[in-house]
Structure 1
Amino acid sequence: MKNKKAAGILLVIITLIISLIIMLMLLIGNVIKFDGLFDTDEDKKTIQVVKPDEFKPLKSRGKNLYKFEDALYRGYYDENLNVKIKPQFTIASDFTDGVAVVSKGDKYGVIDNNGENIFDYKYDSIDNFNEGYAIAKLNDDYYIIDINGNENKINADIDYCEGFSEGRAIFTKGKKKGVIDIKGNVIVKPKYNELTKYSDGITIGNKFLSGDIPIDRNGNILDKDILKNQYQNGVFIYKDRMFDYYNNELEDINNKYNCIHMIYDKIVVSDNEYTKFGVIDKDGNLLLKVKYDDIYSYSNFGYFFVSYNAEKCIINLKGEKILSLKEDVIDVDFASDDLIRIRYSDDSNEIVNKDGKVLVNKNDGNKYSIYGDFIIKEEEIENYNEDEAINDKKIDVYNKEMKLIYSDKVKYYDYDNRYYYEGNINLKEKVLQIKSQNANEYYLNIDGKLVNKVIYEK
């Protein structure tokens, strides 16, 4: 009798527990559905991707200028190093599509390449322009502005908004993120913990316990299989750039090679026994046969530092030997398409050209720096007295044939490689920028001629 009573009580307890579990699951399910932690049937899924070329970037307003500094202020020069806009800005961005974001004091505005205001200095912040559009903040409001001077207030309730990519911008509300278009319309409601910038028509969202969720430019949730196109053979491919994607076990490439690591946009692979190495591109095309003992480094000038048949050497993308190296070489720095720094196990180094001619020997290698097609030697001036002299440094500049083309004594100097100065493909010559307290910025070409000083009327 007691056993039957105990069994009945146990059955009631089990029933109550099951009921509580069911109620709890329903409650959690509603909360999760409300919070958007999981995908729901309300989410429209498709495998169609809205291509980024359906978004039309705005046409550029004109040529871009190039930024320089004078003490506390920034100005801009053109491709011929002529000053177009005098230094007057406390903060200045690079030019994009013929415009730049600048500030005077604590307010930001936008100028064109004539220095004329497109937007007055009224904003608290302005994001960099991308494809003709930028996000600006004024007090607690956000605005979409474009390079043509149009301004559109974002009426959606947001706390923060990032810059545009492919006509879409990520915004934050509370701890969740969503997406707006160039008109300020909400494309994706703020329900994701993270959202990546759009690339090739897709943003990757992340929800708690849901993993990566691909979303197209119209806000449609895509089949997750679409992501398999981005993760190929242990390598993450993003807009023609590639990043190592480490798994516990790297996948075989075409069931033939093992992915080892990446150098720039090339993938070093090996045979199944990891005894021989070669190189493929991101599409799996074989560039160098899998026959090398080791592949140490690669430059974007098209050279590899490898070991083949127990010999260290430099080869090109065709596998042709450019230069034989000694056994005690531990590293090769491809400084330009002509100049190479070779480092040895005893910490010495030498500079050679791609024909193997030694330009700076091992004993003096540490005294020289390479900037593009320039080789620079720097020395302290002996018997320097700060109270009596204005110069304490001496620099000698050589061309890639190791011919002295320029020499100078300066109080303080700094130099930078203007090897077609970053983004400035219009420069007709390879130029070295030199700064000192003795002069404004000045620029030296490969013949040792001072091309131009950045000179302006103060």
Structure 2
Amino acid sequence: MKRPMFLVCCTFILCNFLHAQDLFSYLASYQQVAYYGFADSAGNTKTGGKYNLIMRPVEGICKVWAGQRSGYDYNGIKNGYCFTDGRELVPPQFDRAEDFSDGLALVANGDYSRGYKYGFINKQGLFQIPLKYAKGKSFSQGLAAVSVDDKQWQYIDKGGAVKIAGPFLDAEMFSEGLACVSIPYDMGNGVKSFKRGYIDLTGNMVIEPEYIHGTAFKDGFAIVTVSGTASNAYRSYQILIDRKGKHITSQDFVSIQPGYEGVWAVKTRGTAGLNKEKDEWGIIDNKGTLYPPRFPQQPMVREGLIAFEKDSLWGFMDKQGKTVIKPVYKRANGFMEGLAVYKHLTNYGVLLIRKVKW
């Protein structure tokens, strides 16, 4: 009973998420291998099942897998692309592939022992930049980070011309006009390391490299990790910064999770990584203000409501901390398009509830 209910709910969520008449349909399973195709909103099959996996559409194009012969066969998998009506753009032929981004998709051929060669294809399924890089990341805001030798990174435009020479030890995608890059750092006594900062679209360093990690900017903010000092036993911690590099949070948090709707889940006590017994979570706003409630597990923020745990039960509160759905569920996730998945005490299937208008 549990598995059918779970599959029904997942399909329902997918239908709402796609915003389209077309949806993915499970067609057959042979020798522990699933095959997927497309069906219309009435469930009528439009194309035969020929892919092992169909990913959600990005820029109107789905990444697909094919070539898996058994449940334990991953060596034969190839990546390709198709449209949401089932038309194939590129037959599965790449060993690695990313979703389309900024009109191009990063693809690669090779293997782990010999290495890979990366390039970019366009929406006509043709190579716009040939397979020639040792590493690469997707295009964003007209630029992509690539590495010729797997050691030094630079940024190219959609014609393959180098626009920001670097060189950087690592480089991330641009977001809101900024990208996190790594530069060498001499710690003394012959010890080499790196620090991360942010450059703009012209290559100028606008946030000085002083962090050991940094996320992409979202809604004007990024999460950065600061190396610890002797005063805190050399433990690293995370802070929130704005696009000018200003520290938004004055308190040093164990971790900060990506923000939604101006609310960020922060771990105030415990260790980095998975939830532990003594972990303590809270929430902050875009000004860095820490709200009073504390939670044993990470609260989930979506659509104006926050899923939280209290006394081993989950409920929902608003951004002001007022409980709007009492904690009566064994587990709950954040809302998505007015729906939230929860697990009830007396029913261990996965069900759906509709958000109440308050």
TM-score range, shorter chain: 0.5 to 0.7
User: What is the letter of the counterpart of residue 173 of structure 1?
Assistant: V
Q: 2:161 aligns with which of 164, 170, 185?
A: 185
Matches within 5 A, 1:45-444: 65-69=22-26, 70-71=28-29, 72=33, 73-102=35-64, 105=67, 108-120=79-91, 123=94, 125-137=96-108, 143-154=119-130, 158-174=133-149, 175-189=151-165, 191-209=167-185, 211-218=195-202, 220-225=203-208, 238-240=217-219, 243=223, 245=225, 248=228, 258=251, 260=253, 262=256, 265=259, 266-267=264-265, 279-284=283-288, 288=291, 290=292, 294-296=294-296, 298-300=299-301, 302-303=305-306, 305=308, 315-322=317-324, 333-335=331-333, 351=344, 360=345, 365=346, 368-373=348-353
Contact 2:38 2:48 in 1 (8 A): yes
SS of the residue 2:36 aligns to: strand
Paired-residue identity, %: 16
2: CA distance between counterparts of 1:239 and 1:256?
A: 16
Higher helix share: 1
2: CA distance between counterparts of 1:94 and 1:200?
A: 24
> Which blocks of at least 5 consecutive residues in structure 1 are unaligned?
1-61, 271-276, 342-349, 352-359, 374-399, 401-418, 420-458
* Deviation digits for residues 290-340 of structure 1 (CA, Å, limit 9, x no counterpart): 4x5x44453335246588xxxx99743233344777xxx9x9733566989
2: CA distance between counterparts of 1:162 and 1:186?
A: 14
* Deviation digits for residues 237-267 of structure 1 (CA, Å, limit 9, x no counterpart): 7324765746646799999974556466325
2: CA distance between counterparts of 1:109 and 1:235?
A: 31
1: CA distance between counterparts of 2:133 and 2:249?
A: 50
2: CA distance between counterparts of 1:124 and 1:335?
A: 34
Q: TM-score, normalised by structure 2?
A: 0.55
2: CA distance between counterparts of 1:195 and 1:128?
A: 19
Contact 1:167 1:181 in 2 (8 A): yes
Judging changes above 3 Å, is the alpha-carbon distance between structure 1 residues 64 and 189 closer, same or farther for their aligned structure 2 residues?
farther
SS of the residue 2:139 aligns to: strand
2: CA distance between counterparts of 1:207 and 1:200?
A: 21
SS of the residue 1:88 aligns to: coil
* Deviation digits for residues 344-368 of structure 1 (CA, Å, limit 9, x no counterpart): xxxxxx94xxxxxxxx5xxxx4x62
1: CA distance between counterparts of 2:215 and 2:179?
A: 15
User: What is the letter of the counterpart of residue 167 of structure 2?
Assistant: K
User: What is the letter of the counterpart of residue 222 of structure 1?
Assistant: M
2: CA distance between counterparts of 1:135 and 1:258?
A: 39
Q: TM-score, normalised by structure 1?
A: 0.45
Contact 2:117 2:135 in 1 (8 A): no
Shift of 1:281: 0.9
Judging changes above 3 Å, is the alpha-carbon distance between structure 1 residues 258 and 324 closer, same or farther for their aligned structure 2 residues?
same
Number of residue-to-residue matches in the alignment: 269
1: CA distance between counterparts of 2:332 and 2:120?
A: 43
Contact 2:301 2:334 in 1 (8 A): no
Shift of 1:177: 2.2
2: CA distance between counterparts of 1:340 and 1:110?
A: 30
